[in-house]
Structure 1
Amino acid sequence: MPLNTEKNGIKLSRLTKDLSTLFLPIIRYRGKKYAKEGRVQLTHVSDKFIKSRIRGSVFYKVSIDLEEKERGAVRIGCTCPFFRQGIPCKHIWATIVAAEQYFKENQALTQGQGLAAMELHEIFKPQEWVQAPDGQWNPVQDFVLRYELEVNNEITLISAFEQYVKKDGSLGRQRKIQMKTLTSRDLPREDRLILPFLLATAQETNFGFNHLAFDSYRNNFKEIPLSPENTATLLPLLAETGRCVVKGPDRQVVADPLLPANSKRAKLTIGAEQDASGQLFELRPQILIDDSTVPPQDTLLINSSPVMLVYEGRLYELAGPSFRWIKNMMEKGLPKAERHHIPDLVKHAIKVSRVEHLELPKGLAPETVQGATPVPGLILKAEQDGLRARAFFLYDSLRAEVSSHDEVLFDEPNWRLIKRNEQEERKALETIRSFGLSQVGNGLFFMDYDTALDALPKLEKHGVVLEAEDGKSFKTGTVKRLFISSGIDWFDMDIQVAFGNETLPLPKVISSYLNGQKTVRLASGGRGILPTKWLEKHRRLLELAKNQQTKDGKEVLRFPSSHALMVENLLADAEEAKTDRNFEKFRQRLSSFKGISPLKAPAGFKGTLRPYQEEALGWFDFLYKLGLNGILADDMGLGKTVQVLAWLQKIKRRKGFRPNLIVAPTSLVFNWQAEAEKFTPRLKMTVYVGQSRKEQIENFADSDIVLTTYGIIRRDIGRLVKTQFNYCILDESQYIKNPDSLTAKACRLIKARHKLCLTGTPIENHLGELWSQMEFLNPGILGRKDQYMERFAKPAANGNSEVLETLKKLVAPFILRRTKEEVAKELPDKIESIVRCTMTKEQTELYNKIRDHYRASIMQAVESKGIKRTKMMVLEGLLRLRQAANHPALLGAEDCTSGKFQQLVELLAESIDGGHKVLIFSQFTKMLGLIRRELDNMGITYEYLDGRTPQAKREERVRSFQEDDSIRAFLISLRAGGFGLNLTAADYVFIVDPWWNPAVELQAIDRTHRIGQTKKVVTYRLISKDSVEEKVLGLQEKKQKIVYSILSGSRNLLTNLTAKDLEILFS
């Protein structure tokens, strides 16, 4: 229950003092008693409100609004009938006492101004007459306000009246209370509390007082019957007035006036004396007042709760027995008892009647033990957010609740009366609080589970007895023993969680934890508190494991070998950790890894490797020896193909080398063939494509490399799965980014001892794509897909840095990524410029018309259906805006001009006239057609490539552009030619329209900025001002940070649009 004390600075102790004048002493006593008995459950404590739930005859709710209202007053309420009559009740006082105790213990109060009692009194206005503006009461004049209490057995009646004061001071005739008396502001405090109380009591008993019909109230204050509770409330106030007469049976005056007692309370004692025969004992009840014995018959016993009595005109509270028990005892007396019945008498007196003093003959009286040391204990109850604890004390075998008022405990077997040691009990409660438990009531505590895990063992060490509600023990869980055994590509982890002397296998503990439980039932019947800190710390790793049952029936967690590095923290956190020899060797190899040792190009490789490429061979070797698989994620243009070919050449002579499967996009098959012929001519290659490919399967065993495409893998997986490959290498592995696609599923079915992925953008659109590739490489390393999305992808997408760091640790050993800035510093500069083009007037008018149309309809649909259900409408609107920003002709407006198109033509002419070769990328083939037509008009020779260009033509056109100096331009569809092409002959790149995914643009630029480029590469991104394209740039920058934190890439903007993003795009 957090509390911001700095905001209001209300000091509850001052509030308590201010309020105390409004509460009857007996009400304060009862409220304090309720708090001490633990009847108050504080349900909310803040700087604005205190709320509680009070256990009485039924449950009542109390609220205290600490925010100052008019004139600085606060609002207080209770659901009990007593308060509904406008009278401050014991439930409110109990809440104030409990809250004040809570603040003291939590040291949460600061200095602040108290609230005036008169202001607080405004809360309690039961009737309008309380603040009547006129009519003063002067008690020294004619009449005085008086009360008469008539006690007759169990019935108590109260009357209030005014009585004439004669000149000699004696009292004369009586009259009913006048309106001016009721409305007087000068009434003493006691009368201002008594009269509303009597009015409320009269209404409850159908005496029907109505101040608006005052003339019909003849019996409003006459002989009002009082309940035991109301009697106890009124008597102390009546005694304080000094104007109350008490009459007993037969209307005999017992006290006139009734006065408060000189001491706190009276006590009931029972004495026993032997009769003349010496065999029987006569039992004599007595009342003890101020250490003097008073015969009960000399007192007037009043039926109240607690019981009160009048003796010599003064009012006393009688602790212990009920009125009826005392009354029966006084009227009927106590029977004579034989010696062997004395123990039963004592037991009854203490346990049933709560008589605290027994005066018995020598040899019969129990031994009185003082100064005993109590053993504290807590009864624990598990709740969703933590443990509730109820404190008790043990005196040997006797148990005393903190809330109990018993001052002595009767040890019947040992015939002892043990006096409770209040000082030691207080010290024990302070010790309990010192371990972080919050006290929420008298002897009631609360602790969250993290606190419990730390506090309970310490409490036990300090001798505090811990029990569950059912009497069973409560134990905290610790990871005691951990043993790891390993297989070929897996290792099993046997973890035992200790709860005292009992243990549970970790899978059972995890199951309870993932189901939202904080405790688990133990075999002994007790409850164990789950080690939530440990589980939370290692949760993401533990969720990656599979539950496994060993041959001997043990429940263990099974991990892939690739997780070996991740278990270091688990081993460190266990009290006892052991591993088998194989796992220890594997772990040592991993832990002793100091970095990648570069390997020189092998014999038979026709080329020269750069230093970073030699490091790649060392990394391949590291993975190969450990049986691990990884992603070579170098920047585009750094020669991933060459590095793989060099590695295959390197391991050609190793056992089990053949065959090695390489899967590539159709457009890259030619490139692989050409590179293999150039760099590794000794590696025998089978190109598994075309109509006659089935006949080539028999050549696999004699081939070093089998080269095929993703489409053929998908179609021929039934045949290919029969072959055991040494390597399965996926080029442009983002092709399997969708794990549910047939292509991805087919690739995962390929049987290979080793696997590699090659891609410049392993995360092209979102983090889910990383799971698909890692699942292909090292199955199970990131857990199930749904687990990964829930535990990693979604939190990471929301910027959870801790999750990102954990994911990074998981995948870092299996991803090698180098950027051109890091390793190819000899590459010429890459200059990127954004060219902002002003739309023509007619183009702007068309754009605004389309924008306004879609903005209204889309935002309305998003508000009513949500962004996911309006995706197609959003896509359509954004497409139309991008087409209008490019060229109105894309929307059929052939007569409209385009500012961007005009500027593009000027830049192209300038670049080509300057002797440069240019690449022109657009996602719209119609836009490429418009540019193509313009180049024809300008007499510029060019090549063209889009998704419909046949493979053979692609290779021919790439070679033509690279080798023929007269061809100055290459028009390329962004998606069709964004990867796999080597176009280093160009040094100028034009991105005509921005793509949602910046990685695709980077791929396009890197067709020319790659190894082999000798000229500075200049890139122009053409953006129409004040259009959706300008907004896209801003969103690209905002959206692409997450993936860069994993491996430097980007993510798909379009799939992660929010409603706020839409407002920006359509603004």
Structure 2
Amino acid sequence: MSDIRLFARFGAFEHGKQLYEDGRVTISRITPLQFEANVLTGAGSFQVRVAQAATALQAECSCKSNYYHHCEHIVAALLAGRAYYSAQRPTAERRDNKSSWQAFLDNLSKASGALRSNHRRSPRQWQIVYQLYLRPTSWTIVPYKVYLKKDGRMGRLLPLNSHDQDLSDAKFSPSDPIAIAYLLQKTRWDYNIRLEGYGYSRNQWDSFTFAGSSGRLFELLQESPLFLSADGDLGKPIRFAERPRRIEFRFEQRGRSCHFLPYLLSDTSEQALTPPFYILSENPIWILLDTLLMRIDNLNQADLLLPFSRGLRELVVPQKELPHFIDGIFKQNCAGDALQLPEPYTVQPVTQFSKKRITLKEKADQLELVLSFFYQDREILYSEEADQICRVADDGALVLKIARDRRQEQAAWQALLDTGLKHRPHNSLLLDEKKVIPWLFHSLPALTAEGFEVYGQEKLKRYKIRTSTPTVRLSVATEIDWFDLNLQVEFDGVPLPLKELKRALSR
């Protein structure tokens, strides 16, 4: 019914349905694959012919108005034919000798058997394998069909491409169809190659950058044969590590310097991770060491590890510069739980800030305000996204592990918004020029009373104000018929010219 409505032109379905319900349709000829009908309307009788094509129905009407959509005569005839075929459909014979669950299993077996037979038309003489190609700055994985000889050894290789994805004659793992589809999406065609005078095209497999976001691909390939490519050969088989590995970045004290280097840890062993090794991906990190491919489960970002994969064996840090180096690593937020602090460093949890600061900055015609919080002696901007932050304290031997008090930070932010400030991207606050002076006189003292510390006000030039109590001196000089008044006003020892006072009062 929905298909008939879909292909009927506007209003034709309702009119045709009414003709059918009024008994205006007579089927004159019918077979299992086609039928003819007469549709009687106020404008005369129309002949409709409907025949089944390969995958659809073809309908014609003598009104000749159904070029793009069905007319109401075809709609009426289709509804009549639908009713006739439904009435003539034989009812399924009930199997009294089998219960419903037995019939269910029989039908299930037939369906699955038919499905398997479509995929096993010939013996599986091929195996799906993958070759990994390493380049100086990237890598590529190419899927192949490899011919299986009678003795089980692998023979010739046949690259897969977008025109040949039939795996019915090949052995493959459950995830291979997904992996192949993903890899084929990253291919492109090269039509500029000429071979023996004939046009020739081939797949150009796109490369993945080292430490890119392609780690999920290796999860799909863990049950598939993967080889490290060699010229003219299938290459060495790559093994997947049975368990994930861990990375630890350690400091080793040697004289007056610390040597910083990564270690690779398993459940039973550890070793310094020195080149050559390859970081194929991050999030998650997959590392290829010789022919062993392993996943790292305690580190998601590869920034800190990448320099060591490019030839660096260890980094020497002078002892006096060690606090700055460690703090720099924390600011990059790239070590996770993999950084092992040297002695005598200790970690102190901090969950509350000690003060909240407003920093004032002049713009062209606006005043910008930046909100920050101090967790012990470390300033954290409200705009920073991380909830967990590590910083080295000023004494150099204490690492503050800060768990930000988001509820109190948000309350402070809302207090600023309530004074009429405008919120801009990157969590900055702005005041238009006309509102700056009133805000500085009225709202800023109220915020100071609520515990906000103000920084940068003394550096303001265009919006510089004085909020201290003025000192007023009045002296009188008199004679017999006159007297003089001498008025002096000072703010923090700075005299205020009377002309400026008159101008301010006139405003």
Q: Which TM bucket (shorter chain)?
A: 0.3 to 0.5
The structure whose residues are more often strand, as a share, is: 2
Q: TM-score, normalised by structure 1?
A: 0.25
Compare CA radii of gyration and give the structure with the larger one.
1
Higher RCO by CA contacts (8 Å cutoff, separation 6 or greater) = 2
The normalised TM-score by structure 2 is 0.46
